[in-house]
Every structure is written in structure tokens, then in C-alpha cells.
Structure 1
């Protein structure tokens, strides 16, 4: 152990890191973009019905930014009987959603309501529109019943209600809230302090969050391996690539995505607003911890590091972009594997550099079954990055986007993903929707 590993964070930074984990690692049922649409719709319905007479919604409109459209188009909305799309998600939220449940809004949908959801979808009950603008995560849902109406807007993060209107009266208007959150706490993240935090955090401060991540993400992974979801990336890896540690780590993460992208009604603990990223940041680490028999304490600390490394990268990239978030999450997992094996700051930094210097070019073309394959590829690259780091090897300063400092490399990738790939994102959306 080096002197750095004996360091401690100041009280403010320590509490900020704990708060980041509590805010980012939350349960969600279903892919987070359609769930955010369902949440907005359920919330709007609740606002509309806060009237003396109980009214039923006659029609709805959903306005979504391009990245929401992209990430809803190809993924199954849970509890709908296999339906896909923004309108299906909105209708499910209206018919049976519970806005009080947040990202588990559709847990309340009953099997008997699926027929009604499908009927309303067929009747064109919900009209969907593309919302133009610079905000990548932006949803507006409007519901109407006779002369009554309600409108709910979400911006910046999946549950950030920034505007609520009922019958033309503005009840809530905090349009900048998400940007303020984005500009505050996560900006304190850096690799060196993340390692220090992982070393010194009191387990009782983070144990409930991490325990829930282990439990829920393991369950959906097991479901993906035992059931038939998507194209079965996880099952196929184990069938043809063997059951060695590296393959198991990839397969377990991929299997969770297999199930989730195909509508499995099991919740996961997300990371940076994404279930796929939450599973990718955790399941490979859990798999390695079991094989290495590192114990409860070391696993929890490794998962703290993995999650925070992933969040650190996503802070500059943004919640949604044309950059595949599985890369950032897998990078966190690779760093955590190095950490579990006793790697110091330099070794962990090499792992991060090697991972994002390799597969930083995977594009996000929406949430769908093929995300499982991208996760497997990203995890494979992260494990190779770990092996190279253990050998003392890392890509060098000036090689592409790599700099001599890990924070500079992370910043470069963030710049490319958030600004450089804006035109890529628009072209992907154009091709996907045929515009």
C-alpha cells in the first residue's frame, strides 16, 4: 500500500461522493428512456385527476428529444405484452402507472390492463412528436380530458420534473434544476479521490445501495441466462466461448441486457441513468470477486470504485449521446478488477486509459437487444485493459486522444462524445426514423 492509499477525503468531498452514489444508483424497471416517458405520462395523469370530479384521459401527446426517440424505438416496454415505442410507454404510464414509484412506475401495471394499452395504441390515443433543441434528454407529455389538460416536462435527467402545468396554470417551473445538479456534485469526481474514497468509505454509508445493486442485477442476469431473451448474447457466449472467468464476466453482463432490452419485468440498479450501464459496471466485478474470493468488504469497495469511475466519465459525456455508455461502465469495471487485485493509482489509471483508448468509438444507435453484444465487447476490452495494466503497459501520451494524465484522457473522450459526436447523433437519428 502506498502513502496515497492511506489518505482520506475531507468531510465535504466524502459526503458528496456518498450522495452521488445515492442519487445515481437507484432501481428502475425497464429501459430508462421509455420508463421516463411512462413516468411523465403517469405524473401528468395524476395532475389532471387532482380535480373535484374524477375525469378520464381522452387523448395524450408526447414530445421527445432525438435521443429519447432513438432509445425508445427498439426496446420492449415492460408490462405491456411486448410493445415498443414512445406511444406504448406513455399509454402504459397513463393506464396503469404509479408516478410515486419513480423509475419503477410500471410495476403497478396489471396483466389485465395490457389489452387496454394495446387497444389505445391501435386507436392512436397518443400522438408522438420530435422535440427539437440542444437538450438530449427532454420529454413533454400532455394529457387531455374534455376542457381539462395537464402537461409535465422532464429535462436533463430521467426523473427531473422541471415544469408542471394544469389547465394553463403553471404549477412548477424549475427549468434549470437539472443543469444545476449536473454542474455541482459530479464535478468533484477524479480518479485519485475515487480510489481514496473506495479505500476509506464506511461500509455502513454505502452498504444498502451496493447490496441492492448486487442482488437486483444478479437476479436479472440469471434470468437472462436461463430464459430466452433477445438474441441470447449471454447464453451464446457460454455455449461457444466456454466458461472461463473472462467469458463468464462478459456473459453475465450481456445476459442482464438480453433480458432487460426484451421487456423482462425485473428491476435493476442503474448507473448514470442507464440500466445497461448499471449492470456493466457491476456484474463483471461481482463475477471476478466470486472467483478471487476477495470477500464482502473488498467487493463492496470495488463496486464503489467501478460505479464512481463510470459516473465520472459520464459527467462530461452527458446522460445521452452518440457515445455508447457501456464503454464508460465497462471501463469502471476493469478499473475495479485492477483495484481488487491490489492495483495502485498508476495501475488503475492505466486500465482506464487502455479501455477508453481502445473501444471509445462504439456508437449508440438506441436501446435494443444488440446492446448486449456491445456490452460484451466493452467488457472484453476492459479486461484486456486490466491485463495490460498489470503488465505495466498503457497507451502513451499523444496516441490519439490519450494524454499523459488519465484525467486529460477522460476529458478528451468527454469532449468528443458530448460535442464532436453531435452531428453523428443527428445522422443516426435521421437514419433510424427515416427523416
Structure 2
């Protein structure tokens, strides 16, 4: 969890730290990151085993099960679920490509996957409790040998890997289920004022390539979502209804990227906070407003950097995967960047974030699926309202609900609710989704 007050630091230290955060966050991914992480673990298990598995065992945290259940696995020919993601990863995945593990999958790989999945005993999936919210264990069996891979905390963090009795990564005596990374000190420097200062005059060159790639790739999948009938077509619906309205276009552009991504589009995206939907939400509305305001490309790149860093700062209090919909964090970033592009003061940027959290903080996450596009639209709409209120000198006040005296305290209070208060909500959502609780 980030510190609410960072110690004073020089701008060189700030710039290096913030570029480090951006380069760590802005990773390419093909498809929804949870099924892709399952596929990556399975591909790595197959590579460790050295042969196609004869069977797979996949144990996942509730949040992984929740986020894989209803989303289309990319390059799978329309298959869904953990079994499909794991089997396709083991059959045709390239473990060296991490979150782009399924990019090289071929039609024969898809057919082989379908054939293996026709045997219900090939891939056994189980819920693992008492582990981090993001947790995947894959055991691959072949010819009397077994390879085991565990990913925890972050989508590509391999905390344990073994072949039979040989431990290749991690340590057998340290329970990998309880593994927790040391926090990256660069994130401790994130505050709204520091982020604004970095956007204004920081040295962004070490992160420029990642930011340019985010703009290019996320723009491409948004255009694909608007051009073709993906998912529930939330973006197309918005664009058809009010395409000349700037706020509506901003919502449509972000939603369209999610429409395509949640329904198996094979175009890659650049993620933020471990999520492609958040990477899209932090980027596309900012691009739309930058164009409308006549901002040059350099100012656009800096605005996207501001958006990404605000999203990472807000999400840092919540942690990976929870019942708190992460696109709200990304929408806070987008709204803050739009206010900055419009010439807003640091106080107005902060007020935009507070206004957004005071409105839609607490939208529940009930898994990755086509309706994520609608949640993105709602979150971006709240961020734009928050921006317009802030520019007019209006906003929600301390003592109203979770709103605190400062933007930093408000972020922390909302983060506490998402991290701690919504844990029971997360459990009940999962119980309903897997049929354990009937309503």
C-alpha cells in the first residue's frame, strides 16, 4: 500500500522513479490478463516438462476464477474458461512471450485443444483458498513426470517452478501460496502533486516508448471495436447515439476497446495496473480530449503519463484483483489528465479525482466479460462530470461519505474500502457465480 505522505525528493529521483513505474505498468498483453496469465503458467509448465502434458491440474484464487469464467480466450476460436486457457497455453503457447503467450497459436493448436478438452478429465480446475487474490498453480503431468508452476500477486510473477523433485525457481520450504513481493519503492513516491509536476516538466524519455506504444495499440483496438460487432457493442451504441458530443465520444472510444478485448479480439493492448481495460480507460478518453483541445503530441504523451500514474496511485491502495472495479481508478487518471489538458490547477486536478471517487467509487467487479465496457463508460462519464465540476469550482466536501480533507486522504479511504471492506463482497460474488450460493 502506498504511503500517504512521501518524503521530499529531487526531481531527478522523481523522474527516474516515475519512469520506472510507467515501464513496469505499461506491458503488452493479448486478451484479458487473467486467462492470459493462466495460459502463461500452463505454457511455462509445458516448457518445464519438455513435452505436451497428458493431464493438467489448475488451482486458482477466487478472483482468477471470477475473471476467467465469462471472457473469451484470444486466438482460441471462441473458447471460454480456465480449462480452455490452460490447455491452449500448454498446447500452443509461447512461454517466452509472457502476456502475449497466445499470439503464435495456430489453427492446429486450437483443434488439438478442442480434442483434449473433449475429455473432462484432461484439465481439473479447483478453487484455492487462503492465497493472494491473484494466484495460479499449474501442475502438468507426462510420462511419469510432473512440472509445477505458481504465479502470485502479479500476472507474470513466477514465484515457484519445479520439475519432479528439482526446484528451479523459488523455494520448496517457503509456501509459494503465501509469497508476497517486496514493494517497489518507486511507487512510494507517487502523490498527486508529484505526478502533476512530472507531467509538467519531468524527463519522460525513459518511458516514452512505452507511452507511445500504449497510445498506438490501445487506439487500434478501440477503432476495431467501433468498426465491428464485438461483445455487447457498447462503444458503437454510444457513438451512434451522440457521435458529435465530446464526452460521449470519450466514453465510446474507451468502451469500444473493451468490447473487442473482452470478446476475444486478437489485437494486443497495453495494460495499466495489470489490466487491459484499465490501460484502455486511462488512455482513450485522454486522446479524445487532447484532439478536441488542440493539444500537440508532446502534451498528449505527458497527459497519458499523468493518467497512468494517477491510476497506479489510486489502485495501489486496493491491490491486485478485488470486488472494487479497477476501471474507476483508471477513470480517475483520465479525468485528472483531462483537467490538466484543459489548464486546470493542481487543486482542480485533485478535485476531479475526489469528485470521481465520490460518485462511482465502489462499482463492483463481478468478473471480466462484455459488460465491463458499460462499466468503463459509466466510470469515464463520472470522471468527465468530476472534471467539469472541478473546473467550475464545484465538488464534494470533506465529511460527505468517504470524502476526506485532502485528495490523498480520500484516495486512501476509498482504497481501504476496496481492499478491506469489500473482501466479504468479493466472496459472495464468487459464491453466486460458481453456484455455491443460490439467490
* Alpha-carbon distance in 2 for matches of 1:403, 1:78: 42
Question: Structure 1 residue 181: deviation in Å?
Answer: 4.1
Instruction: Please state how far the C-alpha of 1:107 moved relative to its aligned partner.
Output: 0.3
SS of residue paired to 2:180: helix
**Where does structure 2 lack aligned partners over 5 or more consecutive residues?**
1-7
Taking the TM superposition and a 5 Å limit, the aligned residue runs for 1:320-339 are 320-339=321-340
Q: Choose the corresponding residue for 2:135, options 119, 133, 138.
A: 138
Mapped to 2, the partners of 1:211 and 1:135 lie a distance apart of 32
Tell me if structure 2 keeps the 8 A contact 1:8–1:196. Answer: no
Residue 242 of structure 1 and its aligned partner are, at CA, apart by 3.6
- Report Cα offsets for 1:64-98 as digits up to 9, x if no partner: 00000000001000011100000100001001000
Q: 1:308-361: per-residue Cα shift (whole Å, max 9, x none)? A: 000001111011000001111011000000001111210100000000110012
Q: State the Cα distance separating 1:14 from its structure 2 match.
A: 2.1
Does residue 1:68 correspond to 2:69, yes or no?
A: no
Partner of 1:403 in structure 2?
Answer: 404
Q: Say which SS state the counterpart of residue 181 (structure 2) adopts.
A: helix
Structure 1 stretches lacking a partner, 5+ long:
1-6, 50-54
The answer to which of 240-249 and 363-372 deviates more is 240-249
Q: Is the 8 A contact 2:354 2:396 kept in 1?
A: yes
**Counterpart selection for 2:117 from 117, 121, 127:** 121
| Structure 1 residue 200 displacement after superposition | 1.9
Structure 1 CA distance, aligned partners of 2:244 and 2:72? 29
Matches within 5 A, 1:123-202: 123-124=119-120, 125-173=122-170, 175=176, 179-182=180-183, 184-202=185-203
Matches within 5 A, 1:267-346: 267-346=268-347
Are 1:194 and 1:305, in contact at CA under 8 Å, matched by a contact in 2? Answer: yes
Matched position secondary structure for 1:180 = coil
Deviations 1:144-189 (A, max 9, x none): 0021110000000000000001012222116599733435332221
Partner of 2:147, secondary structure, is: strand
Give the count of matched residue pairs.
424
Give the 3 Å change call, closer, same or farther, for CA 262–384 of structure 1 in structure 2. Answer: same
Contact 1:9–1:193 (CA under 8 A) maintained in structure 2: no
State the Cα deviation string for residues 265-320 of structure 1 (Å, max 9, x = none).
00000000000000000000001111111101110110010000000011110110
Which residue in 2 is equivalent to 1:357?
358
Cα distance in structure 2, aligned partners of 1:112 and 1:377:
40
**Whole-angstrom CA distance in 2 between matches of 1:178 and 1:9:** 33
Choose 110-119 or 250-259, whichever is displaced more: 110-119
Q: 1:213 to 1:178 in 2, by over 3 A?
A: farther
Give the direction of change, closer, same or farther, for the CA distance of 1:15–1:365 in structure 2 (3 Å limit): same
C-alpha contact (below 8 Å) 1:187/1:315 kept by paired residues:
no
CA–CA distance in structure 2, aligned partners of residues 297 and 79 of structure 1: 35
CA distance in 2: counterparts of 1:113 and 1:47, whole angstroms = 19
Is the CA contact 1:8–1:197 (under 8 Å) kept in the aligned structure 2? Answer: no
Cα distance in structure 2, aligned partners of 1:178 and 1:406: 32
Q: Choose between structure 1 and 2: higher helix proportion.
A: 1
Kindly report which structure 2 residues correspond to 1:39-78, keeping only aligned pairs within 5 A, or say none: 39-49=40-50, 55-78=51-74
Question: For the aligned residues, what is the CA RMSD?
Answer: 1.5
TM-score by length of 1: 0.95
CA–CA separation in structure 1 for the residues paired with 2:138 and 2:189: 34
Deviation at 1:134, TM superposition (A): 4.2
- Distance (whole Å) between structure 1 residues aligned to residue 128 and residue 293 of structure 2: 49
SS at match of 1:106: coil
Distance in 2 of aligned mates of 1:159 and 1:279: 20
Which of these residues, 86, 91, 94, is aligned with residue 90 of structure 2?
94
1:407-434 CA distance string (max 9 Å, x none): 0000001100000000000000000001
Asked if the contact 1:60/1:141 (under 8 Å) is kept, the reply is yes
Deviations 1:350-408 (A, max 9, x none): 00000011001210000000000000000000000000000111210100000110000
The structure-2 alpha-carbon separation of the partners of 1:24 and 1:178, relative to structure 1 and needing over 3 Å to count, comes to farther
Matches of 1:178 and 1:250 in 2, distance apart? 38
Corresponding residue for 1:3? none
Q: Secondary structure at the match of 1:151?
A: strand
**Cα 1:178/1:212, change in 2 over 3 Å:** farther
* TM-score relative to the length of structure 2: 0.94
